Amino acid sequence: MIDIPTIETERLRLTALAERHFNDYAAMLADAESTRWIGDGLPLDRTNAWRSLAMLIGHWQLRGYGMWALELKATGEFVGRAGLLHPEGWPDVEMGWMLKPDHRHHGYA
């Protein structure tokens, strides 16, 4: 099992995605604006949001790097995800992020 590092900035904690993030993660992926540039651009239902979360967690084990959960350092609130991704079949590593709608335009990305 890989030890996913935690990184802290002045305002954010980048930490391992976990089941405790799932309700907020699923709500973020159910928002059409959040998924507009991800995959096929369509929102995800809870089942597919779970698969997405599981894939991102497993990516760390398979590749040694991946996406972190973004939490507000002051409160621990989940505000999105960010990191590196390189699924099978992709030509190269991609850096990406996604923020919950009410946490956009705060300079986190």
Q: Provide the pLDDT for residue 101.
A: 92
Question: What are the tokens at 81?
Answer: 């995800």
pLDDT above 80: residue 109: no
pLDDT tens, residue by residue, 44-65: 999 999 999 999 999 999 999 9
What amino acid is encoded at 10 in this protein? E
Distance CA 93, CA 63 (A): 10
pLDDT tens, residue by residue, 24-49: 999 999 999 999 998 899 999 999 99
- Average confidence score pLDDT of the chain: 95
Confidence (pTM)? 0.93
Work out the angle between the directed axes of helices 46-63 and 22-29 (0-180°, nearest 10). 110
Return the ∠ at Cα 16 (arms to 14 and 20), rounded to 5°: 110
pLDDT-based confidence at residue 2 (cuts at 50, 70, 90): confident
In the chain, count H helices and then E strands: 3, 5
Helix (H) or strand (E) holding 13: strand 12-16
Q: Provide the pLDDT for residue 108.
A: 82
Question: What are the tokens at 84?
Answer: 């590196």
Domain boundaries along the sequence of the chain: 7-103
CATH number, domain 7-103: 3.40.630.30
